[in-house]
A and B are shown apart, each in its own frame.
Chain A
Amino acid sequence: MIIAKKSRIPFNTLFTLAWRNLWRNHRRTLIMLSAITIGVWAMIFMTALMRGMVDDMLLNGIRNLPGEVQIHHPGYRDDPSINNSIATPDEALLKALQGPAVKAWTSRVRVPAVISSERDSRGITLLGVEPAGEVQLSFDLDSIIEGRFLKNSDDTGIVIGAKMAERLETRLGKRIVIMSQDPDNNIADRGFRIVGIYKAKLAGLEEMYVYAGIETVQKLLNLKDQVSEIAVTSDDYRHVESWYPHIKEAAGKELQTQPWYEVDTYMGTMLTMMDGFVLVWVVVIFLALSFGLVNTLVMAVFERIREIGLMQALGMRPSMILYQILIESFFLLVIGLLLGNVLAVVTIIPLQDGIDVSVVAKGMEMMGTSSILYPALQLNDVVLANIVVIVLGLLTSILPAWHAASFNPVEALGKD
């Protein structure tokens, strides 16, 4: 056996050979290309849809919490009662809340209450809010369908959901009575005039939240200037880790400071689960593709056994044969990837305005998403899909390529 001299690999020749070989059997190559294209398209398209759904769910969810970080009395989460209130932020906390990462913050009184019209009564969650902050964190002014949102913290009006107005058989301008308890368990009640009616993205919320000015609610409940919660947002739910520890430190040990994924563990899980799902989906599709890929290469090698034998007999080293097959597979994968990516982008762009899935609106609401689905094309996901296909694709091609490289030239030449 001749020990191969260390020489430069003639990549130019190899590329040309691989490229021409690829198109010798154009039918087979085209079928395999279609399969890779469809596979890659499915990876990216499906991922964008699911991402869009989870994004929407998280954004909705965080708007309803509200905020990416919340500060409560330690007992409040388990027992959301007026007795578990906290003082308004002290100096240290105020300073942290004015930090650069914080986009907005607000404090709220949030207590269970009963709302009654002359026709009916319902259990609700009464939110005493600072209108300016609330609008930045949670309340969407466009959701007001009649009247107006609260003007300031001592606004004496009340804003209720459209569904609630229907249930109570009341309307804008009418009076309703709010009943709750003060810290000494005395029933506190007060009449409010309905100044606004809103329509929520998730219909269930309309029957749950009723908005009033925070100072008005504090007066009603004998709360002085205590609040139930402080909510903070940075407008980016993915990178809470970088700033929330400062808030936590400033809030001190007596208060419970939690990021959104601890406040609502379902939402937190959804995000990590989604990442897992994307990986599993991409790998499953790749595996389904890999059978065809290996098959194609095995066929390509099989047809050329004689030729490969001849090339070896003429002095081509086995490693060159290996490279040549790998390059052929690389071409196949890259073209498939390109087409798949383009197809995915082309199909997703027209859907940017949202896909109407209101046929199953109630079901989507169960999952926490609204009835219009916005696909979210994320660079990470696209990169992941491409890397998986190219890396695993080349890895699976090694087997047939290695097989081709290990032919005995004499035997190979003898094949018919």
Chain B
Amino acid sequence: MSTSLNIGIRMAWRNLWRHKRRTWLTIGAMIFSNLLLVFLISLQFGSYRMMIDNTLKTYTGHLQVQHKEYNDNPKIRNSFQDIVPLADKVRKQLGSAGITAWVAARGVAFAMTSSEQRSYGLQIIGVEPQYEVNVSTLPGLVNKGRYFTDFNAEEIVIGSVLARNLRVDIGDELTLLGSGRDGSFAAGVVIVTGIFDSGNADVDRSMAQLPLGYFQSLFSMGGQGHNIVINAEDLTLVSALQNEVSSILGEREELSLLDWNRLQPGLQQAIQADMASAWFMYIILIVLVAFSVLNTQLMSVLERTREFGIMMALGLKPARLGTLVFTETFIMSSLGLAIGAALGTALAWYLSIVGFTYPGMEEMAGKFNLPDRIYPTLSLLSIFLGPGIVFLCSLLASLYPALRLFFLQPVSAMRAV
């Protein structure tokens, strides 16, 4: 058996090189599409990852504990009791369970914010200064002044565009006017202590943060707040973390725990839409390769009709011949897979170091929270997904030529020219 297998492979190998040019052209088609697929899929994975990471790390976070009405109806009165103790409890219990996660409580309100010269209606965020730095990149982006540290300080940190529009600088005062949780009049004066520059004009134009303690007293919140942000170490660990946190929250019925997908549904959907159009293109590429293989193998079977007739007359079963054709395709596809995946990996690897960019990328990137260079992510999946499918489809395409052999009549086949 092992010798016959050996002979089968040797015959297939020799048959392939009877038409060197044809074989290389077919393998070339595979290499071309495998190279493209590895490169594009790695690029896709890389950009999705960055898009998610950048969007979530700016502000939203991986998970949020909210009042169950808040996500649909983000109003000041949809808040929940004892937010700071609850955040502490979650932090402590996750810590003692040995899970790495970062937890921070926030409040959200709306106020008319006025400097001496300008007024804007703004969303005001109350944050826990010592924990906010772990869940959001904004505190780290303060490039003028400093981020506040005191839980009760009457201080505010704002974005650079907002500072410019309000015509304020570090040390200037801002007046906040709004209404508190109970509908009462909320008014306060705060000092600008920090200005951050995230590079994203929308964020820099709209974000203003206060320490949570002062926020709670300004907006008559008592001990209440609107959300607790929880970040996992990595996106893949989020669902495990979600289970853990929901068991900690346990008895509090008024709360709901939402993952980033619920918080930012647009993100996942934009990725899905992009995925769909990308896969349309990949499938076309793969189908074209499959046609190429079908053509080659059908030709190679047809031109050997006589030869196959003789072999059958000598006692070879059609199944053996079918296996032979299949083995030929297998060898071609393996070569295409190995060379294509290797070249694609090399290209993606090179770009994962120097980054990939194209004209117009910068404007595009700003819209989707991406840096102006994408770094492809190489993984076993991104390397072998595309070429693997090309491989399978090539084998499928050789099914028809291989099956034709079962209908071969040795006598008439031997007469074929």
Which chain A residues have a beta carbon within 8 Å of chain B's beta carbons? 25, 27-28, 31-32, 34-35, 38-39, 42, 46, 49-50, 78-81, 112-114, 120-124, 167, 179-181, 185, 187, 265-266, 268-270, 272-273, 276, 281, 284-285, 287-289, 291-292, 294-296, 298-299, 302-303, 357, 359-368
Q: Does B137 contact A (CB under 8 A)?
A: no
Interface residues of B in 110-149 (CB under 8 A from A): 110, 112, 114, 116-123
Interface centre among A167, A272, A296 (most CB of B within 10 A): A296
> Judging by beta carbons under 8 Å apart, are A123 and B110 in contact?
yes
> Judging by beta carbons under 8 Å apart, are A35 and B269 in contact?
no
Q: How far is the CB of A317 from chain B (nearest CB, A)?
A: 25
> Judging by beta carbons under 8 Å apart, are A366 and B270 in contact?
yes
Indicate the size class of the contact surface on chain B. 35 or more
Name 22 A/B residue pairs within 8 A (Cβ), A-sorted: A27-B298, A31-B298, A80-B165, A81-B118, A113-B121, A123-B120, A187-B112, A266-B367, A268-B363, A272-B359, A272-B360, A285-B285, A289-B288, A291-B28, A292-B25, A292-B29, A295-B25, A359-B269, A361-B269, A362-B270, A363-B269, A366-B267
Q: How far is the CB of B37 from chain A (nearest CB, A)?
A: 11
Q: How far is the CB of A254 from chain B (nearest CB, A)?
A: 22
Contacts of B268 in A (CB 8 A): 363
14 additional contacts (CB under 8 A) given A120-B75, A185-B116: A38-B291, A42-B284, A81-B165, A121-B110, A121-B178, A122-B110, A123-B121, A179-B121, A181-B118, A270-B360, A276-B359, A292-B291, A296-B295, A363-B274
Query: With A49-B277, A121-B121, A276-B359 given, is the CB distance from A38 to B270 under 8 Å?
Result: no
Q: Does B152 contact A (CB under 8 A)?
A: no
Query: With A79-B165, A266-B366 given, is the CB distance from A50 to B298 under 8 Å?
Result: no
Query: With A113-B121, A269-B364, A363-B269 given, is the CB distance from A38 to B288 under 8 Å?
Result: yes
Q: How far is the CB of A149 from chain B (nearest CB, A)?
A: 24
> Judging by beta carbons under 8 Å apart, are A185 and B360 in contact?
no
Q: Does B14 contact A (CB under 8 A)?
A: no
B316-359: contact bitstring with A at CB < 8 Å (1 yes, 0 no)?
00000000000000000000000000000000000000000011
CA distance A258 to B272 in the complex (A): 35
Contacts of A364 in B (CB 8 A): 269-270, 273
Contacts of B28 in A (CB 8 A): 291
B289-309: contact bitstring with A at CB < 8 Å (1 yes, 0 no)?
101101110110011000000
Interface of A is mostly: helix
- Closest residue on chain A to residue B303 by CB atoms: A303
CA distance A185 to B363 in the complex (A): 34
Q: How far is the CB of A97 from chain B (nearest CB, A)?
A: 29
> Judging by beta carbons under 8 Å apart, are A185 and B114 in contact?
yes
B9-46: contact bitstring with A at CB < 8 Å (1 yes, 0 no)?
00000000001011001101100110010000000000
> Judging by beta carbons under 8 Å apart, are A112 and B120 in contact?
yes
Q: Does B255 contact A (CB under 8 A)?
A: no
- Closest residue on chain B to residue A286 by CB atoms: B288
Q: How far is the CB of A292 from chain B (nearest CB, A)?
A: 4
Residue among B26, B277, B303, B364 making CB contact with A291, cutoff 8 Å? B26
- Closest residue on chain B to residue A273 by CB atoms: B360
CA distance A299 to B25 in the complex (A): 11
- Closest residue on chain B to residue A284 by CB atoms: B36
Contacts of B265 in A (CB 8 A): 362-363
Query: With A28-B295, A38-B284, A366-B267 given, is the CB distance from A123 to B277 under 8 Å?
Result: no
Give the top 6 A-B pairs by smallest Cβ distance, nearest first. Answer: A363-B269, A123-B121, A363-B270, A291-B29, A114-B121, A362-B266
Contacts of B276 in A (CB 8 A): 360
> Judging by beta carbons under 8 Å apart, are B33 and A288 in contact?
yes
Q: How far is the CB of A293 from chain B (nearest CB, A)?
A: 9
> Judging by beta carbons under 8 Å apart, are B291 and A35 in contact?
yes
Query: With A287-B32, A288-B29, A288-B289 given, is the CB distance from A27 to B302 under 8 Å?
Result: yes
Q: How far is the CB of A137 from chain B (nearest CB, A)?
A: 24
> Judging by beta carbons under 8 Å apart, are B363 and A266 in contact?
yes
Q: Does B92 contact A (CB under 8 A)?
A: no
- Closest residue on chain A to residue B367 by CB atoms: A266
Contacts of B294 in A (CB 8 A): 31
Interface residues of B in 269-287 (CB under 8 A from A): 269-274, 276-277, 280-281, 284-285, 287
B88-116: contact bitstring with A at CB < 8 Å (1 yes, 0 no)?
00000000000000000000001010101
> Judging by beta carbons under 8 Å apart, are B292 and A35 in contact?
yes
Which chain B residues have a beta carbon within 8 Å of chain A's beta carbons? 19, 21-22, 25-26, 28-29, 32-33, 36, 73, 75-76, 110, 112, 114, 116-123, 164-165, 178-179, 265-274, 276-277, 280-281, 284-285, 287-289, 291-292, 294-296, 298-299, 302-303, 358-360, 362-364, 366-368
Q: How far is the CB of A269 from chain B (nearest CB, A)?
A: 4
> Judging by beta carbons under 8 Å apart, are A360 and B122 in contact?
no
Contacts of A79 in B (CB 8 A): 164-165
Contacts of B120 in A (CB 8 A): 112, 123
Q: How far is the CB of B53 from chain A (nearest CB, A)?
A: 16
> Judging by beta carbons under 8 Å apart, are B178 and A185 in contact?
no
Interface centre among B285, B291, B367 (most CB of A within 10 A): B291
Q: How far is the CB of B355 from chain A (nearest CB, A)?
A: 18
Query: With A50-B277, A291-B25, A363-B267 given, is the CB distance from A31 to B295 under 8 Å?
Result: yes
Contacts of A361 in B (CB 8 A): 269
Q: How far is the CB of B188 from chain A (nearest CB, A)?
A: 16
> Judging by beta carbons under 8 Å apart, are A185 and B118 in contact?
yes
CA distance A366 to B292 in the complex (A): 39
Contacts of A167 in B (CB 8 A): 73, 75
> Judging by beta carbons under 8 Å apart, are A124 and B121 in contact?
yes
Contacts of A34 in B (CB 8 A): 291
Query: With A79-B164, A122-B110 given, is the CB distance from A295 to B295 under 8 Å?
Result: yes
Q: How far is the CB of A79 from chain B (nearest CB, A)?
A: 5
Interface centre among B116, B295, B298 (most CB of A within 10 A): B295
> Judging by beta carbons under 8 Å apart, are A38 and B287 in contact?
yes
> Judging by beta carbons under 8 Å apart, are A179 and B112 in contact?
yes
> Judging by beta carbons under 8 Å apart, are B359 and A39 in contact?
no
> Judging by beta carbons under 8 Å apart, are A295 and B178 in contact?
no
- Closest residue on chain B to residue A120 by CB atoms: B75
Query: With A269-B363, A284-B36, A299-B299 given, is the CB distance from A46 to B22 under 8 Å?
Result: no
- Closest residue on chain B to residue A298 by CB atoms: B21
> Judging by beta carbons under 8 Å apart, are A46 and B25 in contact?
no
Contacts of B296 in A (CB 8 A): 295
Contacts of B284 in A (CB 8 A): 38-39, 42, 46, 285, 288
Query: With A31-B298, A38-B284, A363-B267 given, is the CB distance from A295 to B121 under 8 Å?
Result: no
Residue among B29, B118, B285, B360 making CB contact with A269, cutoff 8 Å? B360
> Judging by beta carbons under 8 Å apart, are A265 and B363 in contact?
yes
Contacts of B179 in A (CB 8 A): 121
Query: With A39-B288, A269-B360 given, is the CB distance from A367 to B21 under 8 Å?
Result: no
Contacts of B121 in A (CB 8 A): 112-114, 121-124, 179
Contacts of B114 in A (CB 8 A): 181, 185, 187
Contacts of B29 in A (CB 8 A): 288, 291-292
CA distance A187 to B114 in the complex (A): 9
Residue among B178, B273, B292 making CB contact with A292, cutoff 8 Å? B292
> Judging by beta carbons under 8 Å apart, are A299 and B287 in contact?
no
> Judging by beta carbons under 8 Å apart, are A46 and B280 in contact?
yes
Contacts of A367 in B (CB 8 A): 270, 273, 367
Q: How far is the CB of A22 from chain B (nearest CB, A)?
A: 14
